[in-house]
Each structure stands twice: as structure tokens, then as C-alpha cells.
Structure 1
């Protein structure tokens, strides 16, 4: 297929030169363009394929960027990026120093708001609409596109609740495809299903919130979309358009396997078949070690339950959901609810494993403090995607967890160096060796051990271990970055310690280290301000040690997107750079 029409679009205003027949042809070209690029470069496929017609219709009807358009999360914004002057750069999407995989204010005037975490669009666009009204700009339109999984989040309902009582020029477009990354869950999902099938007899929930509701309409019918958007454009006040789409539209495999093709990796653009990522007999992903270990523990402990906010596949909680469907809960995009649900279960003697991506636990920080730690409840937080995560970029890097958790009383914090330690700390936590909550953080991707499924062993709380003995200086690491340190220092006459617990610190071991070595290097894959290195510096200050301490970690800036090795190179955390820092210190 050629891209004659798509090549003629350099900005959204060019769409207005096309008739509706041409717009339908453009949709085919745009869909094919997305498939061809993502097949090679990887990215979030299904969501963007599902909103091709909606994207064209929105930019055709509204005067962007003067009218403000906000995409919730941003997984579905690829077509938007291509139509807003970024077609020639789209091959760099999610690549190091290329386009972001998400809307980003600094990237384009057409990206009205940066969105990487879900359910923020309604609050953001309402803030814009109120600002326009205060400035006297009553003609400007404000549009948010939000999915049926995202709208079930508490923050989205907070935004809806406020928007319904404002006199603002606001349109919420619900992109309803019954799936986020995994299938949508909850009572609202059932309500929307009833609306779509004509079985809904209750009052309309959105009309009850004072929105002018219309729909549901076919989100792949450009003519119907344009007609309804034009009608709504002339109506004042908060409006709500319910649009039905198919995630993965236009690629059969993506339509049939919507979970897999949310972000499928490389695939054949013509056939849709996935291209294998790696040869067999590789170490497992940390998330799979978590998932299989949880099932193994649950088989012998009937008090164990699993909780995840909308990430059963991404976190591998799916294994627990399959093995023990009555004891595993996908609560939807609701991190705050997930944490307090776990707290409630813990009060009744259950042992909740609350599995949340590190970056998403930020959204439930108050609940971790107020509902779990303050009451010293034994909730086990398993924080996936800790450290740098790669191409998803700054909204998804899990680099703040050590710092924002370390200041919370009663909370134990552990970072396993490998799969065996992840298994053992999960075993230790559920066997009541810990009096109170614990956070276990581990990275995205493959581990380092083929023979990982070993018999369980208890880990003594607050103990570190020595990995290499030497006389020159001491390197202290935390978590899986310790494996890079091992690679960097194998033939150097230095000591290497895996401290393992950021809280409580192994003070006995630290006293030995500070009394033996004049130079200490700390290394972490978290932010240096307030993190592991800060904890070691605080220990030194409190105990009047004068040793030289060098802290390596994530600098005080938001790290952009790219492959993890590229990002490590950029911030000085690859093995060669670590080695050079240590060798220079040894020369002193």
C-alpha cells in the first residue's frame, strides 16, 4: 500500500482538505504505517491501532493545538504523533534520543499534557478548561480520550465528580474496548457491557454525574464520529461521548490476542506473527520467578493471597490467578485501593502479596504510610520494574522507591541480587520472620541464574553478605546492580558487599567495613538523593566515621527513554565505567 494521503499530512489542518472517503483511505494508510514501524522498532501496538479513526476524526473536527487534546496514558497516541508533524521521526519512537513513546509537552505543541500513568487526563483537561474560562477564552475546546480500564480508577472518578458541576467547555471521550493491558475488570466494566448490549435499565451513570452523554457509537466509522463530534462541539458544558473500538483493529493477530499484542515486541508486519526474542534455556524473568514462587508458597500456606492493580500479565500474578482464582485479585487501575485492600486482609490474619510496579506504587504512597506502616500490618509489597526500565522512559523508571520508602517507620526494605534471593525473601516474609510490612524490589527482565528453583532458606533480617574479599577499598551494592559490580571488579584487590537490606541496615557489618577501609563506594540503581548511598552516609555521620564515601547511582534528573545499556552508559553505571571509577580511587 502506498502512503500518498498520509504523506500529504504535515499537520492536522491538512486533514480538512480531504473528503470523508479520503479520510477512510487515510485511516488504512495510517494503520499500515503504524504496523510497519512497530513491527521493527517495537512499542505499544494494539491501543494505537484501535483508535486510528477516532484520532483522525478528533483532529478533523477540532482545531488542535488551539483546541486542547489530552490522551490518557498515551499508549494509543501513535496515530496522533504521526498526524502532528512527527511522521518522519516516528521510526525513532521509544529509541534512545528519539521520540517518546508517550505524549510529552516538550516534544510537540500538539501534546497538551504528558501522560504515562493512567487516569490523569480528566483532571488535567478540566484544569485547562477552568483556566480557559478564567482567561475569558470561551471558544476553546478541551478534549480528553480515556479508556474503559483507566476511567475505573479513583482519580478519574474524582475528575468526573468535579467536572460535572463546572460550566466548562469540556468533552470526555470514552474509548471502550473492554481491555487495558489485561482485560478490564470490575462493576463499571459490567455496566459498560450492559450499555453496549442494550441491557442497561438503570439510570446512566455519566448523566447522573451531570454530563451530556451520547453514544455508544462505532469508533471505526469515521462519518459517524465526525457527525457526532461536530454536534457535541456546539453544545456547552461538560459532555461525554461513549465510543466502541476494537483494540488491535486491522491486524488479525492483534485483534485475536489483545494482551500479547498490547506491546508485542518485533513481529512480521505482513503476517502478524511474532518474532522470537531470545533462544531457549535462558534465565527466567524476575516477574516469572515471583509468580511461580507465589504459587509454590500458596500451595502450602492457605493464608496467602495475591493482589495486583491491573497488571496480572505484566507482574506474572496470572499464575496465582490461574492456580488459586479465589485467592488472587486484579483490582483494576487502583493502586491506592490495592494497598488498603491488602491492609484490610492483613488485619484478619491473611498474608497479602501486593504486587505493584515500582513507579505505580508512587500513586499509593499515602496508603503505604497511613494504612499499612502506621498500623504495622504485615503486607508484603513486591515491587516489579525497579530501577531503569528502558524504552518506556521517565514515567516508568522505578528509581525513586528506595528513597521514598526508606523514610517510613516499621517498613523493611530488601533488594535481591538474584532469583534465589527473591524466592528466599518471599519465603521468609510469609513465614512471619518479619514483624510488619516489607517491600521487595526487583527489576524488569531476565535474571542471571538458570538453576534458580532451589529449596527455600530463611534470610536473616537486616543482614548483608560479603561477595569478594580485598584490601584496597570496599564497594557496597544493593540489588541486582551488584552483578554488574561483580563483573567490573573481578580481578581487583577490593572487597564487595551486598548489603541486601536498605532498612534495617546491617550495622554490625557496616562497623566492620568502616573500621577496615578508608574508602567506601556505594552503588545503586535508584536515585542518589535519599537512597542507599544516603543511608550509608547517614550511618557514617551518626557514628562519627570520617571515611571517604563515593556514591554512584541515578543522578538528580529524570532519565529519558532508551535501552537499559544505553541509559547506563549515559549516567556512568556500566561495568567499565564502574571499574574506572574504582581504579581511580585505588590510585589515591
Structure 2
């Protein structure tokens, strides 16, 4: 039975595009905002999804689409967590319940989904760079498009945002950057920029002094040309001295604000004024993440997203009561093991780029606050910061998502590998991650690290192996070490209290077979157990080898497999091209007599969103895919 979908309010129900929004009177916009906020709450409370960020920009979203001529005028969202209202107002209201569902709408802006999604996003801090590129293209085409980038204060901490602002200011390009300042990213923001913005928004004297100075200068400007020039110079000097936005002015931007990000009429009026102001401009809007939903306003990190239905009044979960899941997530196994290791080894330090919750670094930060660091949305800095600590004898554990480490690739090569510094990279969200989709899939880390010298690349089959890999890495100082593990639950096995050293570059035989062997890399090997049991019932006995390391390869074990099996299948939750299977292929290619080889992994295409199991089945690396490939090798009719 199809679930009944929430109904939009009477005004929102009439809005199928921004042109419909523009038909309304300005004094109706607040009602639109109220209905839009309620609709987001209604949908997410039933279907789940990102939550707090979109509630915080309802008024800004409505004002932008009311004032600007989208999609001709280009609106670029940063990250995309806050774009739900944008999607609903741009013709996707009726499909919005499919958000983040397999085959449905993306949880982020996506160019192929709508002409209103001008730039695909998922990771932070790209909006200003993209907007500048669009603005330059507009100028080359001699068009009159307006270009607006919306970026959060968390995303503004990344170097890319400042590189873009520096370039835009120097080029004097006509763009508007809107700083959505809610003092949050996913976890609370950190760093000097946070304190700077807080000073702006909490200043008790700034607005009063600015108004008085401007009023005084207004009298001077009526006193003739000479006095007007004097007044103009005085105004610039006083602005530089008094305006808290001097940082942005120093980068060449005209600064406006701070303004109330929940006053839709005030936003409408200032946006209409700024349309006529040429050059680079920054509007500083202060908002509340989770605005309009009390539980989300109180606990902003918790309500960044919701994965299950909840009561839209109280916020209480509507899922059937159940006992706490005793099976830990891989990230939590990492977090707990790190604290245990740090208790025994004072050299151990850790860092994460703005993801202490997602990476489970909070246990370490709470237990050893002087040895655990949230460096903000700054992946490049996180890697080189870890390298600096390692250069001075510390054992740095860098907890980072696979798709985030991509941003620190140059630092991985230049600052870690070339100097042979023993940083340990604990790579979370390796493999297909689920509903966040292609911007967050950890598909490429094995492939992009294999080519780098002085790197060990490993992946545990289960939580016991993860703990022992971390322990072994903590004792190993001859190279950098990458340990990759997926999003989601571990196996629930009983782990021993003590750690044990693991043989580097050595795999293990888990099951002996007759003609076909599967070499698995990482937790994806769990599917082989089920497939092997089903195949055994049909008289097909396969070998299973947990290889543990993609670099260095266990060539002795591979030689043994080649001597005893006619067919090899490799299995990994990572890119087929350049990954673990490619490493095996490269090795056995030099053998004069070798078994056939089938590489199973993520294909050379973009995989969209869905549950991890749905996506594994789609690309053929789930249980059914393994069985099918084995039967093909066994020459059994599928």
C-alpha cells in the first residue's frame, strides 16, 4: 500500500516554479515561508533526510527565487544540505518524497536533475569558485545574468573559499556571495573565523555607530564638491575602521550585514538593492539551523539529518521500540580502539576535518583533549598537520572520509609519502555509502593510493581485524598506513580485549575450495560467506581468501592460489580500475601459466544513491552477483 504523502499549504500548492512564486504579493512571502518550512518538516519526518540546514534557509531561499530570475540568473548552493526548499520551489515538490531513495531525487543539487541546479555539490566550499567561473563565462558571452553563491560559515573556513574570494576580488567580478551564518556545519564550527563572525554578530555598538557616522556624513555631502570628496574619504576610512566585515573588504568584496536571515521581507528588499550594485559583494545573513522546529534548534548536530520517522511536534522517534543495537558501527570500533591505544602510547595524536561525530573522534577528544583536534573543513590542512606532528615523533591517526581524503591527495603525496612520514589514515566511508550518493561514495581510495610509494593499504574483514590493524600501525614507523572501512555496522563478533600484532602484507585462507577461489579485500568479504554456503548446497565448493592488504600484496598466498585453482575472482567495494583486483592482475600477468581472473568491484561509471545493499546488487558485487560469477566460471547454467 502506497504511503499517503503530506499535503502542501494552499500557497505552496500553487508554486510549481519560481515564476509562480513571483505572482504573489510581497506581503504573502512570510506565509509561503511558513508553509515551506512545514512541508519540509512533514516530508522529512516521514521519509528522513537532511533537516536542520534547509529549515534555516527557508526565508533566504524564498527571497532569492522571488527576487532573481532563476534559472536564467544562476544560484549556486554550497554543500547542498540546505537546498530542500530550493528543490521544492523549483518544480520538484510532488517528487520530493523520493528524496535520497533509490531511483528518486538526489539529496543534493544535481545538474542532470533540474535546470535550476546550476552546479552539482555534496562537499563543501565549492560555490564561490563555481560562481566566479560562471560570472566570467557570462562576461565573455556579454550576457546580463546575475550570479549568486550561498555558502555556510562552516564551509567558509576551507581554503578553497578564500582562494576563490581572493580571485574574485582581484577580478572585480560582479557576483554576490551570501554567507549563511548559523555557527554550525555538522558539528559546531571551530577556528578563528568562527570567533571573527561571532564578534560581528554580537557587537552591541557596531550598528549604532555606523548609523550615526553615516547620518553625519550625509550632512557633509550637501556642502559642495570639495566637502563631498572629504566626506567620501572619511566614509571609507570610518567604514574600514568600524565595519566588522573588514576581512571580506580586504579581499575586494563590498560587505553588507549582518542581517536577519529569517526576515523574508528584509531579505527581499536588500537583495533587490544588491542586484544593482556592481562588483563582488558579500551579504552576511545570520540564521538558526533547524529554525521553526524546536528539537532541531536545541540539538543542531543531532538534527543535521534524520534517518527514521519522527513525531513532527515532539521530535520523538516513531520507529518501533527496540533494544539498542548491540552491533557497533565500524567508526565506533575505531573511536574506542583509538582511546585504548592512546592510553598505552603517549605518542598517539589524532585529527579530523570537521567530522568528530561522523568519524567517532569524540571519545578521543573527550579523553585526551590536548591530543585530539578538529581542524575544521580543511582536508588538505588535516593531512599536512598530521605530517608535521609525525615529523616531530608523534603517531598521528588522521580520521577522514574516503571521499574527503581526495581533497588532500597532493598533501598525501608531497607532505607524507615523499618524506616517508608514518601517518596512519583511518579512512571511514570507504566503498559505496548509500543515500548520500556519488559525491560521498568512497570508490577510489585504493586506486588513488596504490600508485604512491611508502604507503601500506589495508582493509579489515571485521572489527577484530580493524583493532589489530590499528595496533600494528601504531607500532610501525617505516611508512604511512591506510586502513579503510565502510559506513555502517560491523559484524557483532566478540572481540578480545587485548590487541595483537598483524603480519603486514599477509592474508588468510578462510575456506578451501576445489576449482574457484575468491580473494576478497575488506568487509565486503561478508557476502562471500553467504554465497559460499548457497553454492555448497548446489555442489560447488569455492575457496575464500581474506587478503587484508592491497599493498603490499601477499604474493606467496596468491602463488598458492594460482597453483591450486583454475579460476580466481577478486572482490572489493572499490574501483575496479586500479584497485585491489588490478593489483592481483598485475602480479599474475607475469606468470607464464596462470588461472583466469575476474575482477568484481565498482565499475567505471557514476553510481547513484540508494541503500548500500541496493547499490551492491545493482553493480553485481552482492551475494547474487558473486553466485552468478562463480557459476559462470564453473560452467553451470545460470
TM-score by length of 1: 0.98
Q: Identify the residue that residue 479 of structure 2 maps to in structure 1.
A: 436
Is 2:115 the partner of 1:109?
Answer: yes
Q: Could you tell me which of 11, 20, 24 is aligned with 1:14?
A: 20
Aligned residues of 2:258 and 2:285 also touching (Cα < 8 A): yes
Aligned-residue offset at 1:587? 2.6
Aligned-residue offset at 1:530? 0.7
Matches within 5 A, 1:94-493: 94-137=100-143, 139-198=144-203, 204-266=246-308, 267-275=310-318, 279-432=323-476, 434-452=477-495, 454-490=497-533, 491=536, 492-493=540-541
Q: Identify the residue that residue 615 of structure 2 maps to in structure 1.
A: 567
Q: Identify the residue that residue 521 of structure 1 maps to in structure 2.
A: 569
Is 2:578 the partner of 1:534?
Answer: no
Q: Could you tell me which of 44, 52, 56 is aligned with 1:46?
A: 52
**Structure 1, residues 475-534: CA drift from partner, whole Å, max 9, x if none?**
100000111111111224111000110000011111111111111111111110111111
How many angstroms apart in 2 are the aligned matches of 1:281 and 1:544? Answer: 51
How many angstroms apart in 1 are the aligned matches of 2:8 and 2:74? Answer: 31
Unaligned stretches of 5+ residues in structure 2: 1-6, 207-241
Q: Identify the residue that residue 78 of structure 2 maps to in structure 1.
A: 72
Aligned-residue offset at 1:114? 0.3
How many angstroms apart in 1 are the aligned matches of 2:359 and 2:405? Answer: 13
Residues 234 and 453 from structure 1, CA distance in 2 versus in 1: closer, same or farther, beyond 3 angstroms?
A: farther
Residues 2 and 564 from structure 1, CA distance in 2 versus in 1: closer, same or farther, beyond 3 angstroms?
A: closer
Aligned-residue offset at 1:456? 0.7
How many angstroms apart in 1 are the aligned matches of 2:563 and 2:178? Answer: 63
**Structure 1, residues 181-208: CA drift from partner, whole Å, max 9, x if none?**
0011100000000000117866710011
SS in 1 for 2:306: coil
SS in 1 for 2:285: strand
SS in 1 for 2:369: coil
How many angstroms apart in 2 are the aligned matches of 1:281 and 1:163? Answer: 50
Moved more, 221-230 or 265-274: 265-274
Q: Which has the larger radius of gyration?
A: 2
How many angstroms apart in 2 are the aligned matches of 1:212 and 1:148? Answer: 17
Q: Identify the residue that residue 61 of structure 1 maps to in structure 2.
A: 67
Aligned-residue offset at 1:275? 4.2
SS in 1 for 2:457: strand
How many angstroms apart in 2 are the aligned matches of 1:34 and 1:452? Answer: 42
SS in 1 for 2:594: coil
Residues 24 and 203 from structure 1, CA distance in 2 versus in 1: closer, same or farther, beyond 3 angstroms?
A: closer
Aligned-residue offset at 1:108? 0.3
Aligned-residue offset at 1:270? 2.7
Aligned residues of 2:29 and 2:265 also touching (Cα < 8 A): no
Q: Could you tell me which of 549, 553, 560 is aligned with 2:601?
A: 553
How many angstroms apart in 1 are the aligned matches of 2:325 and 2:167? Answer: 53
How many angstroms apart in 1 are the aligned matches of 2:181 and 2:175? Answer: 19
Residues 280 and 208 from structure 1, CA distance in 2 versus in 1: closer, same or farther, beyond 3 angstroms?
A: same
Aligned residues of 1:390 and 1:564 also touching (Cα < 8 A): yes
Aligned-residue offset at 1:276? 5.4
Aligned-residue offset at 1:19? 2.1
User: Alignment length, in residue pairs?
Assistant: 586
What's the RMSD between the two structures over aligned residues?
A: 1.4
SS in 2 for 1:542: coil
How many angstroms apart in 1 are the aligned matches of 2:328 and 2:497? Answer: 14
Moved more, 203-212 or 57-66: 203-212
Moved more, 442-451 or 331-340: 442-451
**Structure 1, residues 373-413: CA drift from partner, whole Å, max 9, x if none?**
11110000000000010000000000111111111111000
How many angstroms apart in 2 are the aligned matches of 1:224 and 1:280? Answer: 47
SS in 2 for 1:32: helix
SS in 1 for 2:312: coil
Aligned residues of 1:94 and 1:100 also touching (Cα < 8 A): yes
Q: Identify the residue that residue 626 of structure 2 maps to in structure 1.
A: 578
Aligned residues of 2:110 and 2:119 also touching (Cα < 8 A): yes
TM-score by length of 2: 0.90
Aligned-residue offset at 1:39? 1.2
Aligned-residue offset at 1:269? 1.8
Q: Identify the residue that residue 547 of structure 2 maps to in structure 1.
A: 499
Aligned residues of 1:420 and 1:454 also touching (Cα < 8 A): no
Aligned residues of 2:200 and 2:245 also touching (Cα < 8 A): no
Aligned residues of 2:8 and 2:39 also touching (Cα < 8 A): no
Unaligned stretches of 5+ residues in structure 1: none
Aligned-residue offset at 1:578? 0.9
Residues 480 and 225 from structure 1, CA distance in 2 versus in 1: closer, same or farther, beyond 3 angstroms?
A: same
**Structure 1, residues 75-119: CA drift from partner, whole Å, max 9, x if none?**
000000000000000000001110000000000000000011110
Aligned-residue offset at 1:431? 1.6
Q: Identify the residue that residue 88 of structure 1 maps to in structure 2.
A: 94
How many angstroms apart in 2 are the aligned matches of 1:568 and 1:460? Answer: 30
Q: Identify the residue that residue 214 of structure 2 maps to in structure 1.
A: none
Aligned residues of 1:384 and 1:443 also touching (Cα < 8 A): yes
Moved more, 122-131 or 297-306: 297-306
How many angstroms apart in 2 are the aligned matches of 1:152 and 1:560? Answer: 29
How many angstroms apart in 2 are the aligned matches of 1:280 and 1:545? Answer: 53
Q: Identify the residue that residue 221 of structure 2 maps to in structure 1.
A: none
How many angstroms apart in 2 are the aligned matches of 1:423 and 1:289? Answer: 7
How many angstroms apart in 1 are the aligned matches of 2:487 and 2:181? Answer: 29
Aligned-residue offset at 1:2? 5.8
**Structure 1, residues 439-460: CA drift from partner, whole Å, max 9, x if none?**
0000001011242353211101
